[in-house]
Amino acid sequence: MQHKNFKNIDRVTYGRGSFSQLAQTIEPIRKENNKYFVYVVDQYFHDKSLKNQLQNLPEDLIYFIDVDPHEPTTEQIDKLRDEILAKKGLPSGVIGIGGGSIMDIAKALSLMLTNEGSSTLYQGLNLIKKPGVYHLGVPTISGTGAEVSMTAVLTGPEKKLGLKCDWTVFNQVILDPELIESVPTDWWFYTGMDTYIHCIESESGIRNNAFSLAYGEQALKLCREVYLGDKSGQTPENNDKLMVASLMGGLSLTYSEVGVCHALSYGLSKIHGTRHCFANCVIFQHLGDIYPKGHNEFMNMLKLHNIELPQQISKDWDDATLTAMAQVSYNLPFMWHHAFGDNWQEKVNIDYIKSLFKRL
Ligand code: NAD
Ligand code: ZN
């Protein structure tokens, strides 16, 4: 068995107001390359006060990106990379400020600035040839763990798959809980549930171990404080906790694996464009037999926060659609193996996966 040798984030700043240290943090890096930074910022902040706190210099490039029409694509990254290199050459670094989508755009852009050709060439594990430029992530919505993971998930013409290697991991992350205060309640719920599901899946499978469990248990404890009980809700104290839970949930799955919900989620997202965290919630409500304890708690959290998920969405899917979805999910053998053990193929096949999708 090959043991994982995971590259962690080089440096992490955490605390309310820590975003104000951004300029001072990147100052020493400015001597690299052409002494300028590229900011990729969620469009949401275009007319918000955060824009005035960026402390960018006149030579820096700022892109406000609307992440709502679709999740990050290979085409989008290639175009952005070509434009930046043509305009100003290689930057000192890339700074991403936003949710999982922006984290992935910043990570992928950093890599693609130094690796030739289309990003579609590098979707997979360790296909990237050269280290990217310095990259710094500032999450503004918590849950996906994209701030800590070694992958930059991109949707390409062929597949939805990450650029996955040690160089993908951020050099620096700034976790400022004040930045997640404006997240709308439904997104606060879906994205936080991504952390919750990461931890449930990480602990419920054969790759679970003391290392992944230590992070997972702590992240679950924080999730329960944020989403269950009379102190739950979008309070400053809970935002402090959620940011840490997201990071720890990401570390838990890194040392273990995700499971059935995520395998299905990729199929749903790839074929129907459903957003990752929302897709997980839509699916997890139907996995009571596979993750009984987590499911029970999840249903309580839904009720407590008045979140209504869509029902009976599979009624419009024909057999060809279900097969296409099932094929995407089946091609994630690590997740099925983790969830069902060495003999997973005795249970899991295209028909079984289609039957899971028919529950939705
Ligand atoms: P997101 O980045 O897609 O943003 C969701 C919504 O929240 C958007 O409308 C955005 O504008 C808004 N938003 C962000 N911050 C806000 C704030 N502070 N106030 C108000 N609105 C705000 O959200 P996400 O769920 O964090 O990320 C999903 C993406 O992450 C998907 O593309 C998925 O593929 C990717 N993902 C990556 C990994 C990884 O390890 N790399 C893991 C899971 C998911
Ligand atoms: Zn996830």
Angle formed at CA 86 by CA 81 and CA 89, multiple of 5 degrees: 80
For residue 134, the SS3 value is strand
Q: What is the pLDDT of residues 197-244, one digit of tens each?
A: 999 999 999 999 999 999 999 999 999 999 998 899 999 999 999 999
Q: How far apart are CA 84 and CA 94, in angstroms?
A: 11
- Angle in degrees, 0-180, between the axes of helices 292-304 and 210-227, rounded to the nearest 10: 20
pTM for the whole structure:
0.94
Q: Is the CB of 71 under 6 A from ligand 1?
A: yes
C-alpha of residue 31 to centroid of ligand 2, in Å: 36
Tokens of 129: 């040839």
Q: HSE-up of 40 (CA within 13 Å, CB side)?
A: 29
Mean confidence (pLDDT) of the chain: 95
Q: Find out whether 284 and 197 touch, Cβ atoms under 8 Å.
A: yes
Name the least confident of 16-20, 68-72, 245-249.
68-72
Among 101, 196, 272, the mutation site with the greatest number of ligand 1 atoms within 8 A of its Cβ is 101
* Averaged pLDDT, 252-266: 96
Residue 37 DSSP SS3:
strand
Instruction: Kindly give the distance from the C-alpha atom of residue 102 to the centroid of ligand 1, in angstroms, as a whole number.
Output: 7
Q: How far is the CA of 314 from the centre of ligand 2 (A)?
A: 21
Minimal CA–CA distance to 94: which of 59, 132, 66? 132
286: which DSSP letter? T
**Ligand minimally distant from the alpha carbon of residue 181:** 1
Distance 141 CA to ligand 1 centre (A): 6
Which strands sit side by side in the sheet containing 160-164, from one edge to the other? Answer: 124-125, 160-164, 151-155
Minimum-distance ligand to the CA of 200? 2
- Nearest protein CA to atom 24 of ligand 1, as residue: 100
Q: Which of 19, 43, 44 to mutate to test the pocket of ligand 1 (most atoms within 8 A of CB)?
A: 44
> How many A from CA of 276 to the centre of ligand 1?
9
Ligand with an atom nearest the CA of residue 276: 1
290 contacts 260 by C-beta, under 8 angstroms: yes
Smallest CA separation from ligand 1 atom 41, residue: 146
pLDDT given at position 4: 78
Q: At what angle do helices 100-112 and 74-88 cross, to 10 degrees?
A: 50
Q: How far apart are CA 301 and CA 279, in angstroms?
A: 16
Residue that the structure tokens 């309070």 belong to: 235
Q: Which amino acid is at 162?
A: G
Q: Which residues contact 36 (CB under 8 A, 6 or more apart)?
A: 30, 57, 59, 60, 61, 88, 91, 92
Spatial neighbors of 141 by CB under 8 A, at least 6 apart, are 98, 99, 100, 180, 183, 187, 188, 191
290-329, pLDDT tens digit by residue?
999 999 999 999 999 999 999 999 999 999 999 999 999 9
Residue 247, CA distances (Å) to 8, 40, 111, 161, 222 in order: 11, 21, 22, 21, 11
What phi and psi, each to the nearest 5 degrees, are found at residue 304?
-60, -35
Place of tokens 């043991």: 3
136: amino acid identity, one letter: L
Q: Name the phi and psi angles at 138, rounded to 5.
A: -125, 95
Q: Express each pLDDT in 264-287 by its tens digit.
A: 999 999 899 999 999 999 999 999
Residue 157 confidence class, pLDDT cut points 50, 70, 90: confident
Name the maximum alpha-carbon separation found in the chain: 60
Quick check: CB of 67 below 6 Å from ligand 1? yes
The span from the CA of 42 to the CA of 273, in Å, is 19
Q: Give yes or no for residue 2 having a pLDDT over 80.
A: no
Residue 77 pLDDT > 80, yes or no? yes
Judge if the beta carbon of residue 104 lies within 6 A of ligand 1. Answer: yes
State in Å, rounded, how far the first CA of the chain is from the last one. 36
Measured by CA distance, the residue closest to atom 28 of ligand 1 is 100
Number of other CB atoms surrounding residue 13 within 10 Å? 16
Confidence of residue 124 (pLDDT cuts 50, 70, 90): very high
Measured in residues, the chain has a length of: 360
Ligand 1 contact, 140 CB (< 6 A): yes
Nearest ligand atom owner, CA of 70 = 1
Residues 84/39, Cβ–Cβ less than 8 Å: no
Q: Atom 4 (ligand 1): residue with closest C-alpha?
A: 99
Band of pLDDT at residue 162, cut at 50, 70 and 90 = very high
Which of 6, 46, 104 to mutate for ligand 1's pocket (most ligand atoms within 8 Å of CB)?
104
Q: What is the pLDDT of residue 180?
A: 97
> What percent of the chain is helix, strand and coil (3-state, nearest 5)?
55, 10, 35
Q: Distance from the CA of 191 to the center of ligand 1, in angstroms?
A: 8
CA-nearest residue for atom 39, ligand 1, is: 146
Does the C-beta of 277 come closer than 6 Å to ligand 1?
yes
The yes-or-no verdict on residue 14 having pLDDT over 80 is: yes
Q: Which atom of ligand 1 is nearest to the CA of 68?
A: 9
Percent of the chain whose predicted confidence (pLDDT) is above 70: 100
